[in-house]
A and B are shown apart, each in its own frame.
Chain A
Amino acid sequence: MPPSQGTAHPLRLLGVYAALVALMFGLIFFTGDKAHTPKLGIDLQGGTRVTLTARTPDGAKPSQDSLKKAQEIIEKRVNGLGVAGSEVVIEGDNLVITVPGADGAQAKSLATTAKMYVRPVLSQQAAVKGGQPPAAQPTAPPATPPTESVAPTTAPEPTSEAPAPQNRVFPAQAPTTPSPTPTPAPAPGGLTPQQQTQQEIAAAKALRQSADPTVQAQAMASLDCSKPDPLQGNDDPALPLVSCSTDGNFVYLLDKSALDGQEIKDATSAYDQQRGWVVNVEFKSGGSDTWGKLTTQYQGKQLAFVLDSKVVSAPQVNQGGQYGGNTQISGSFNAKTAKELANTLKYGSLPLSFSTSEAETVSATLGLSSLHAGLIAGAIGLVAVLLYCLLYYRMLGFLAGFSLLAAGVAVYALIVLLGRWIGFTLDLAGIAGLIIGIGMTADSFVVFFERIKDQMREGRSFRSAVPRGWQRAQRTNLSGKTVSLIASAVLYLLAAGQVKGFAFTLGLTTVLDVIVLYLVTAPLMMLVSRSPFWAKPSVNGLGAIAELAQERKAAAGVLVKEA
């Protein structure tokens, strides 16, 4: 196969590249919002990012449907914060909430609200503080008996604060029996986090959702409210439940769920002259029926609002037959807690329960420092590579440098455009990917150059070595870049967390690198190879190779003569 001189004229290829870049910048400046800076991740501009991992009782993958629904609900809540540019995206089995700017810290608690049930209270006792240092619960309010009450909004009840029924079912059970099962054994190594979670949930269920009175009693005695709850939203509504109150001061034995939180239509917090902060709840039509029956059945008794397996509020039912679809929960709320409960109730149950895997609030100051550090590092990297190329490849180093700049311009434009089109945000890891991409891009030139050297070693002139070297370099380059691309793609699709940005920019530079190689580097080399100036060893630095080829020729000549 005779080496071709390239299928198109070098200048035409360069022109194509220039046109592509011009097109991209045209799109940037004349379409969309015309912003010419990339969309920055919260670690570069400051903001909050919360990664939520779905927890399923059996450790199975959550269905895409339920994830989408959860995403919708959380999106509503995030928008309720009123911060522009907030996002909730599904990443594998995770939901990632990003709220830019300084006001996003509340986002951290957005998804702690998951499943809500109304369960009748069977019994209640003060929580055992399980040997934890008092510091573990410094924020717990003073341990007074709960004073919540439920009343229809239309008819404010006179406060009939009957003392909560204490330990009605098993009053005599003292926490003397050492319980063998309360703490799930530390998971042996080799278990995936999913399996571990699964085991913990199963253990907690066996103990705390038993219908057996003895086990229930034991669970109540041994439940440590200061520890994170492994059940957390994974309780079975059809079974009784032993659970803590959210403030960690009380342990409740609850009957099976009587009403699902999804039956709640709306909830608002309000200030009531007599009772302080209250939450007004409006039920959907089906829910109001159930609620009416419940209030009749449990008048004078307590009903617990259980959220994420924790008792948010266990008010006493003051009036039966509340069929109006409206009710009011009062208790020891303040403005904040009342609003939180109202939001929780209003936005309905999430179809999944989530645990926060990572929640990070980055200050704008820190973000700015990171951005600066990234940009400086990139600039240093670029200059260092350019200097090395000039040193090693002499004037040809300029070609390598020019290719790098050409690629850099295109990468910048693409990142801006992708930020606009698919919401790609450049984060610190993405910048790292770009910096590493500098080396990878320059390597295309290295491979090409070494192939030219190969050809010259075989006795060709610089002029004829370039097209032949290009023939071979193409294959090498494409094979190599394919591997890099596979790596980036696999990482992007499978890896979790912010490092996705890293894989993305690395893949992006790989693709662009190939384009630049074909449209810029190679045509430039072709042009250069025809110029007598560049053929000078002092300019292209290839003198040693030419010399070697001369020696080779001489040696070969000798060999042949000998024969």
Chain B
Amino acid sequence: MAKSSPVAVDSDSELDYEGAGSGKQHSLFERLYTGTGGFEIVGKRKVYYGIAAVLIAIAALSMGLKGFTLGIDFAGGSRIQLPAAADVTTSKVDDVYRSVIGHDPVTTQKVGSGSSATIQLRSDTLTNEQADKLQNALFDAFHPKDASGQPNRNAISVAEISETWGGQVTHKALLALVVFVVLTMIYIAIRFERDMSIAAIGSLFFNLIVTAGIYSLVGFEVTPAAVIGLLTILGYVLYDNVVVFDKVEENTRGVLHLTKHTYAEKANLAANQTLMRSINTTVIGILPIIGMLVIAVWLLGVGTLKDLALVQLVGMIVGGYSSIFFAVPILVSIKETWGPVAEHTKRVLNRRQGGAKARVGAAAAERAGAAGRGGEVVANGAARPSSRGQNTGAPRPGARPSGKRQQRRH
């Protein structure tokens, strides 16, 4: 039966990871790079569930006890920004504000740097007239210059935000979340399978909770931009999951027809093979975002750019982790709980036990079919076609379904 050429080492024999034949040791990076890390991800999934549970618990606790730091869009109010020239200080701005409005602003801070630096003043909602007066007073006091270097009243930016605005945005974001989850569940269920769809959604919520938890814990300000940014992360996380699941699907195709490997082992292999891609994707994804965050914080200090960048940065890192260390284990757990995979895993493990007792052929006592197949597969490693669909254990001559074989090769 050793007629299959040794060159055609196909994916079935890849489970041997490292060391199954070669004695040469590879460095961690090499193993990562070549996708032959042989990291036990699915096998040690209890550990990863533990980590996930701890993360979720911390996130939930923080959200419950500490809550979120809500931005101006949720509290409502006015925001006035003027260029921070040399003679403009926060205390002087405070003085002007007090003399016009009669009480202190909520906060006054200097943000950004260089020519982009501004003084940002946050206050309760001002009426149009109040804002107008304040703008005039600030102009009289500091004569801020516009882009062309001329003193201009309009160099002062004024924003008024109602307290319902943030809620409105969040409400819509939640609606978008529900629609998005439903649509992607359907898509993944059609494109892949139902179990993957469930696992992907599970990992999606893991992401949501952990990212929100980090926001709560660190006290990053929650703005509508951050809420929407969170949603786009979910798109990104699912994209990541889809890439990993695609590999899982490819690797596990036909695994049930053999008793050489369990579904879990094949999925683990897929996780290993996509590990480097996930790391690369995450790095490549966050490089521009880090750039954006640094520039946004450094030059502008505050605003949409910073909010979007921060939430994406946190979310992408969590997402990269979860697609490998959360989604794949969950998928395997679901698969092994019910359905044909659960059955198959038992069979494989049984056979292995049998194989340990008597290496060749002797396992026939256990189960005719399985044993027969077992001996054969152990014997020829790569050649597997005859071992499929022979429940009776009696090979039918010439009954090799070439169609299926083709399918399995791709």
- Which A residues are closer than 8 A to B by beta carbons? 1, 43, 46, 51, 53, 92, 102-103, 105, 108-109, 133-135, 138-139, 192-193, 196-197, 355-366, 368-370, 372-374, 376-378, 380-382, 384-385, 388-389, 392, 427-429, 431-432, 435-436, 438-440, 442-443, 446-447, 450, 453-454, 457-459, 471-472, 475-476, 479-484, 486-488, 490-491, 493-499, 502-503, 506, 544-545, 548, 551-560, 563
Contact = CB atoms under 8 A, between A and B. Distances in A.
A135 B13 CA distance: 80
A363 B154 contact: yes
B155 A365 contact: yes
23 contacts: A46-B147, A92-B172, A109-B128, A139-B130, A357-B165, A364-B146, A373-B296, A373-B300, A388-B287, A435-B289, A435-B292, A436-B285, A438-B288, A458-B14, A459-B8, A476-B246, A479-B246, A486-B180, A487-B238, A490-B176, A490-B183, A548-B26, A548-B34
Q: Please tell me the size bucket of the interface on B.
A: 35 or more
Nearest to B165: A357
Interface string B131-152: 0110000000000111100001
Contacts of A503: 228, 232
Interface in B378-407: 379-382, 406
- 4 A-B pairs with the lowest CB-CB distances in the bound complex, closest first: A555-B21, A487-B235, A381-B288, A135-B102
Interface in B349-385: 379-382
B183 A486 contact: yes
B291 to A, nearest CB: 4
Contacts of A563: 1-2, 379-381
Given A483-B184, A495-B231, A503-B232, A439 B284 contact: yes
Given A365-B155, A435-B289, A545-B34, A491 B280 contact: no
Interface in B162-184: 162, 164-165, 167-169, 171-173, 175-176, 179-180, 183-184
B287 A436 contact: no
Nearest to B379: A563
Contacts of A439: 281, 284-289
A363 B101 CA distance: 22
A225 B292 CA distance: 46
Contact of B159 (A359, A438, A457): A359
Contacts of B299: 369, 372-373, 376
A556 B381 contact: yes
A443 B284 contact: yes
B103 to A, nearest CB: 6
Contacts of B191: 479, 482
B234 interface: yes
B112 A369 contact: yes
Main secondary structure, interface of B, reads helix
Interface stretch (B50-58, B88-96, B207-215, B303-311): B303-311
A486 B287 contact: no
A387 to B, nearest CB: 9
A545 B14 CA distance: 14
B162 A135 contact: no
A109 B128 CA distance: 8
B154 A364 contact: yes
A366 B101 CA distance: 24
Given A102-B152, A496-B168, A555-B21, A366 B81 contact: yes
B115 interface: yes
B24 to A, nearest CB: 7
A487 B290 CA distance: 22
Nearest to A475: B246
Nearest to A369: B116
A496 B239 contact: no
Contacts of B127: 139
B33 interface: yes
A487 B180 contact: yes
A358 B166 CA distance: 10
B107 interface: no
A363 B156 contact: yes
Interface in B114-130: 115-116, 118, 127-130
A438 to B, nearest CB: 5
Given A373-B300, A374-B305, A479-B242, A385 B168 contact: no
Contact of A369 (B115, B236, B238): B115
Interface stretch (B38-46, B270-278, B324-332): B270-278
Nearest to B238: A483
B63 interface: no
Contact of B304 (A364, A366, A486, A498): A498
A109 B141 CA distance: 26
A188 to B, nearest CB: 14
Contacts of A450: 35, 273-274, 276-277, 280
A484 B235 contact: yes
Given A377-B309, A556-B21, 8 more contacts: A138-B133, A139-B133, A357-B164, A359-B159, A429-B225, A439-B288, A440-B285, A494-B172
B30 to A, nearest CB: 6
Interface string B187-215: 11001100000000000000000000000
A51 B81 CA distance: 19
A312 to B, nearest CB: 15
A380 B176 contact: no
Contacts of A557: 6
B296 A377 contact: yes
Contacts of A506: 232, 235
Residue of B11, B160, B239, B294 with most partner-chain A CB within 10 A: B239
A273 to B, nearest CB: 28
Given A197-B164, A385-B288, A554-B22, A372 B116 contact: yes
Contact of A373 (B11, B116, B154, B308): B116
Contact of A388 (B168, B172, B284): B284
B169 A558 contact: no
Nearest to B285: A439
A46 to B, nearest CB: 8
B54 to A, nearest CB: 28
**Most chain B Cβ neighbours within 10 Å, of A46, A53, A480:** A480
Nearest to B10: A458
Nearest to A486: B183
B6 A373 contact: no
Contacts of B132: 105
A557 B6 CA distance: 5
Contact of B232 (A377, A491, A552): A491
Nearest to A384: B287
Nearest to B275: A450
A357 B162 CA distance: 5
B176 A495 contact: yes
Contact of A133 (B34, B103, B277, B285): B103
A517 to B, nearest CB: 14
B336 interface: no
A364 B232 CA distance: 29
A491 B380 contact: no
A490 B180 contact: yes
Contacts of A369: 112, 115-116, 118, 299-300
Contacts of B406: 1
Contacts of B284: 385, 388-389, 439, 442-443, 446
Contact of A553 (B9, B16, B308): B9
A366 B238 contact: no
A257 B270 CA distance: 73
A365 B156 CA distance: 9
